[in-house]
């Protein structure tokens, strides 16, 4: 495995670990300042809106899994296709299960890979 691919796989694992532990600071550190996110039912939004959305997850138990289908590194840019399953359980609430696919564009920023663009097509199951 190429070193860049290993670093990207480590980024994904860090993202999932931080999501499970509620470490929003860590998640935001994995995102480029000019990142753009695309999700179903919303216009594209940037890192600040993403950070604001994380506040709704405070106290929510998050668990999940992922399966990376493809990583392609092209210099300081890379893309990744990923299948994701997530379960979110608010305190005293019913769990919500979601699954879907992501297409993520990453950029090497100050020697580290960060999410630059992310298209997330997930739905409830």
Where along the chain do its domains lie? 3-124
Structure tokens at 114: 């960060």
What is the tens place of the pLDDT at every residue in 107-120?
999 899 999 999 99
The proportion of the chain whose per-residue pLDDT surpasses 70, expressed as a percent, equals 100
Give 93's DSSP letter.
S
CATH no. of 3-124:
3.10.450.50
Burial readout 49-88 (b: 16 or more C-beta within 10 A, e: otherwise): ebeeeeeeeeeeeeeeeeebeebebeeeebbbebebebeb
- Half-sphere exposure in the Cβ direction for 12 (13 Å, CA): 25
Per-residue confidence band for 56, with pLDDT thresholds at 50, 70 and 90: confident
The pLDDT value recorded for residue 88 is: 95
What is the tens place of the pLDDT at every residue in 88-107?
999 999 999 999 999 999 99
φ and ψ of 21, to 5 deg: -95, -5
Residue 92's closest CA among 125, 59, 54, 56?
A: 59
């Amino acid at each position: 495995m190429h070193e860049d691919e290993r670093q990207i796989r480590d980024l994904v694992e860090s993202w999932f670990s931080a999501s499970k532990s509620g470490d929003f600071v860590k998640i935001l550190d994995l995102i480029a300042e000019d990142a753009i996110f695309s999700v179903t039912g919303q216009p594209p939004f940037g890192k600040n809106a993403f950070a604001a959305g994380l506040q709704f997850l405070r106290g929510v138990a998050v668990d999940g899994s992922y399966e990376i289908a493809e990583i392609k590194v092209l210099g300081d840019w890379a893309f990744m296709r990923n299948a994701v399953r997530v379960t979110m359980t608010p305190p005293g609430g019913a769990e919500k299960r979601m699954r879907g696919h992501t297409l993520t564009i990453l950029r090497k920023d100050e020697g580290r890979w960060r999410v630059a663009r992310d298209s997330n097509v997930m739905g409830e199951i």
